[in-house]
Amino acid sequence: MSASETTTILGLKRYAADGTDVYETDDQRSNVNAIEALFASGTVLKHEQGGIEANIAAIADGGMLVGTGTGTMAIRTSILTAGAAGFLKHELGGLEFNASAIADGGMVVGTGTGTMAIRASALTGGASGFVKHELGGLEFDASAIADGGMVVGTGTGTMAIRASALSGGASGFFKHELGGLEFNASAVTTGDVIAGASSGTMAIVAASGASDGDVLTLQADGTVDYETPGGGPSQANQAALEGETNENTYAPPDLLKHTPGFAKFYVKFDAGGTVQGTAYNTTSVADDGTGSWTVTIGTDFSGIDWSCSVTIETTWTRSANIENNGQAAGTLQVRSTDNNGNLSDGGDMHVIGFGDQ
């Protein structure tokens, strides 16, 4: 073999056609010699010389060569699903499918088994749109919600922004314009009431400090508060009842008898002067003889000119009347006569008197 035909173990020509050495420097010749020596000895090519430093014949179907971080390479077994024609496994962060199949607006979602799947048409308006409401999306840019705004339903399956729904921003309360109280209702305790305040707001009227029997009253400024009742009307006196005075008072039971229309005394008694059943303001009844009796009144009238009524309960024809000059402030003489005008007992006598005491 001539010098121009001399080749290396790798099939590289050592000399040019004119017989000159094709390698210009000793380093080049040294590298070629080193490579030939490696192949001759059966070792691997060093990474400094562009080698992998691994026997690629050991790479199984679906395996890959990966960097070690130390300048060398190593075999990562079974990285791809279904061998060399498969996809990067999910254990290594792969999708395990052809992502080119994702149409505009589709999304890649987890399957729950460690793999990923395509959710078609998940976004409105394609890749630049929003998550559709069918998937729980808002279908708008939520960054547009200002402090105190809220997201509310539109009734068409979408959501919309209700601006400035809360007082004091995100940490505030529902505004009264939206039916809110504009305060923390958890502060309301037993006995408290919620009442309207100024400017359409609500406020708590606290029961603390109020006493049993206190009532809510309207204040001069239009608010309400608990207060002790004012006591109501005063008691009428005897003169007011007797005169039937028109005033904002009440009549006590012990003074009702002074009202002009009320009886000041009454009594029912038999022929012997014995009270029958009941009597009022009557001290006694004296039997003065046949057909004559004297009734003594407990509390006297103020004079002798008071009104009296006398009747007799009998099966005979009898007349009941007042003895002539028999009416005094504290006593009354009554009598019963027959058809001839003679004093005569009958059945029970009924006597009642009205007037001022």
- The Cα–Cα gap between 354 and 357 comes to 9
Summarised one tens digit per residue, pLDDT across range 55-92 is 777 788 888 778 888 877 788 888 887 877 778 888 87
**Helix (H) or strand (E) run with residue 7 in it:** none
Q: How many residues does the chain have?
A: 357
Among 254, 279, 273, 271, CA closest to 352? 279
The answer to whether the CB of 106 falls within 8 A of the CB of 98 is no
Summarised one tens digit per residue, pLDDT across range 143-192 is 878 888 888 888 887 778 888 778 778 888 877 777 777 777 777 877 78
Among 279, 253, 276, CA closest to 265? 279
Summarised one tens digit per residue, pLDDT across range 232-291 is 788 888 888 788 888 888 888 888 888 888 999 999 999 999 999 989 999 999 999 999
pLDDT of residue 37: 64
The answer to whether the CB of 182 falls within 8 A of the CB of 176 is yes
Q: Is the pLDDT of residue 346 over 80?
A: yes
Is residue 72 left, alpha or beta, with left meaning phi > 0 and alpha meaning psi from -120 to 50? beta
- C-alpha distances (whole Å) from 344 to each of 296, 319, 339 are 21, 9, 10
In this prediction, residue 9 has a pLDDT band, given cuts at 50, 70 and 90, of very low
In this prediction, residue 3 has a pLDDT band, given cuts at 50, 70 and 90, of very low
